[in-house]
Structure 1
Amino acid sequence: MQLAEVLGQVVSTVKEPGLEGLTLLLVRDTEEPSGPGYVAVDVVGAGVGEIVLVATGGAARVAAGAAIPTDRAVVAIADTVIRSGAVTYSKS
């Protein structure tokens, strides 16, 4: 799993039936703030600017529902991130 920031939403009117009703988010790893973004299925209702936990591979499919075709899923919204004893992120 990795921490990522939600950059926006991806809207698609035509998609795999298993993805119907699910929100697609554009996110970017917090470790690479200038890196490329990627799409993840949102299963927790995250919003733009929030720091989230992204599961990948089989864990993402389980979180989204085993029949969902996805490699990445947003599975948690971070309230606080503590690194080396210091708070590096706190949800306002």
Structure 2
Amino acid sequence: MWYKDQVVHLTRKEYELLLYFIINKNRVVSKQSIAEHLWGDHYNIADNYDAVYVHMVNVRKKLSAYAGKDYIKTVYGMGYKFVIP
């Protein structure tokens, strides 16, 4: 992925997560919907979203490093929101 003139190195899941956020920009998406999007309907560990959290942290770090801003906001008790001004 490119940001301005720089290459941003993302794993496949990080890239899929970012695309999911772009498609759903300015909407709150739950951890469950993110997990189902990334791993399909067979992601049945409903009590444990650690994998989603890890990918979220990595995407936030990488975007912040290049953009200097965190576009992913946590909506407490609901999920995450990708906000582009």
TM-score (norm 2): 0.25
More helix by share: 2
| Larger RCO, structures 1/2 (Cα 8 Å, 6+ apart) | 2
Give the greater-gyration-radius structure (CA): 1
Q: Which has the higher strand share?
A: 1
TM-score (norm 1): 0.24
